[in-house]
A = this chain, B = another copy of it.
Amino acid sequence: LALLASTLLVGFVSVILSLVWVFHYREGLSWDGSQGEFNWHPVLVITGFVFIQGIAIIVYRLPWTWKCSKLLMKFIHAGLNTIAMILAIVSMVAVFEFHNAKNIPNMYSLHSWIGLTAVIFYSLQLLLGFAVFLLPFAPVHLRVVLMPIHIYSGLTIFATVIATALMGITEKLIFSLKNPAYSASPPEATLVNCLGLLLVIFGSLVLWMASR
């Protein structure tokens, strides 16, 4: 499917752009309380929480998966979501450690409020998914009742994660572009605005595939 190929491509280019941002325009990656530690935050969150979560959501819709057993599919879906969760948590640790090292307050911004809420709902979604759809205890009628809720909350959390990434990009560009400022549209601003646009396109493609 051309649709699948473009979704993968857009997601892949987003990950690349986040790396270009961090290495070419910012301080690269490190884990020592410096800007380099902060930079793990956007990279891990775009790789894990956006790209891998997006793939996990559409995995049931991929042609090659129709050969697989339902149980294998569930393992792939649950496994990808677990990887996304781990990367998201590491990326949180990176910002919090960075903020503590620099004495910047935690959890003051709308970005952080909505971001943390999304992470909490995502972990509930993951636990509930395991408990109801993977472990053999839940009766079928419970599965049938919970499935529409699982799909609704999964897609809503995914959309919220993308909105959070857009707020984060906005904050970071305002904070770090001073001379020239964000409003003077230096190349870094244009590149990262394009990254933001790609995240919206990626999200729209995933929603389209998941609602077919």
Task: List residues of A whose CB falls within 8 A of some B CB.
Answer: 104-105, 108-111, 113-114, 117, 152, 156, 159-160, 162-163, 166-167, 169-171, 173-175, 182-185, 189, 192-193, 196-197, 200, 204, 207-208, 211
Contacts and interface: CB of A to CB of B under 8 A. Distances in A.
B166 A196 contact: no
A30 B38 CA distance: 41
Q: Which of A110, A114, A174, A175 has the most CB of B within 10 A?
A: A110
Contacts of A152: 207-208, 211
Contacts of A170: 109-111, 167, 170-171
A176 to B, nearest CB: 12
Interface secondary structure of A, over-half rule: helix
Give how many copies assemble into the complex.
2
A49 to B, nearest CB: 15
Contact of A163 (B105, B166, B184, B211): B166
B108 A184 contact: yes
Nearest to A155: B207
Nearest to A211: B152
A183 B104 contact: yes
B197 A114 contact: yes
Given A108-B183, A108-B189, A174-B171, A197 B159 contact: no
A162 B163 CA distance: 8
